[in-house]
Chain A
Amino acid sequence: MDSAIHLFALAMEPESKALARGLRRRDPDLLSALIAQYEYRLFRYLLYLTGSEEAARDMFQETWLRVLARGHQYDGVSRFDSWLFSIARHLVIDSSRRRKMDSLDELLDTNQGGSAQEPQSSEGASPLAEYENTELAARISSILARLPSVYREVLLLRFQEDLSLKEIAGIIKTPLATVKSRLYRGLSAARELMEEVQP
């Protein structure tokens, strides 16, 4: 298993190195390709972080401008998506600080005893609700919106983005043990909420 991972890493290495070189050169074609490739995943992550489609759109653009400006900082060793999400998260936190808030938790857990808002579209209706394709997905969306942001974020990164625990720890700049603890607690909290809303 380990050797398979190692072989995969070796096969991936030239691509990530080439990516790092392109980012250092500020290659606009490469950036356009990356924007298209990560459009959905990055926007989804930002939508969950900010809880607002408009804010997510702004942060999406700001994230790519930051990638352009700081592309030389990508080492070509770690996964690009982890680095990208890390930048996006920092921008959201910076933005929340500019709004006189101290942390991401305060940005998201603004009301109702720590429950975050469900992502809202510009028309006021939930973009999640508009596009839920199954009844279960609808319930999951509602549960996610009710989860404290610290749990929601790690659950999404682990189970929606399929990132490893180490990568999550790198993105949210938190010790691995804390990431694990949040995942266990988040999963448990999500399960309790699911039982509450069981039809």
Chain B
Amino acid sequence: MRTHDAGNHPHERARQLIDRQLIEGIEMEERRWLEDHLGACETCAARWASTEAALTALKSISIPVPHGLAASTSLRVRENAVRLSNKRARNIALIAGCAISWAAGVASAPLVWRVCEWAGTSLSLPRIVWETGFFCWWLVPAAAAGLIIFWVNARAEREEMNGTLWTGSRPNGW
């Protein structure tokens, strides 16, 4: 249902086209019609001019950028790039160490099993004891290595955090 009379219709169309032109663009035919209408209608032309002026002013609004923002950010980014690079190197070393350890464990398992079995039999130990010994041989070094790696990583990250120069304000409660 139309809410405006025929006399207002061209103005309403012009208003819609002005907005559409600014937001998503209009067809050449519509543009020609709008130009003709703006040439003939002072009210719509004023509306177009004021909207254009407002949008130009919007672009001209100047924001003060804090002094040294780019430099301090760049410094933080560089420090973090080094930290990430170190972390990556540590992760590669960790993965390589785990892979070697796993391969060595698998390869030596039959031999170690026989050694444990021989030791258990020679010492007349219950089967559960030397089997536990075998599993410990598998688990304890891996657990110890894991703990050492965890400790080394934690220490490295702590040192990096302490060594990182904080160049911006701390996150606040905004």
Contact = CB atoms under 8 A, between A and B. Distances in A.
A190 B64 CA distance: 24
B19 A68 contact: no
A100 to B, nearest CB: 12
A58 B23 contact: no
A159 B55 contact: yes
A192 to B, nearest CB: 12
A90 interface: no
Contacts of A130: 64
Interface of A: 26, 28, 31-32, 35-36, 39-40, 43-44, 47, 50, 52-55, 57-58, 60-61, 64-65, 68-69, 95, 99, 119, 121, 127-128, 130-134, 136-137, 139-141, 144, 155-156, 158-160, 165, 180, 183-184, 187-188, 190-191, 194
B43 interface: no
25 contacts: A31-B81, A35-B70, A35-B77, A39-B69, A43-B66, A50-B174, A54-B169, A58-B168, A60-B69, A64-B76, A68-B80, A68-B81, A69-B80, A69-B84, A95-B171, A99-B174, A130-B64, A131-B62, A132-B62, A134-B60, A155-B58, A156-B58, A160-B59, A184-B19, A188-B19
Contacts of B84: 26, 68-69
The listed residue with most A CB atoms (<10 A of its CB), out of B53, B65, B78, B169, is B65
A158 B23 contact: yes
A47 B66 CA distance: 11
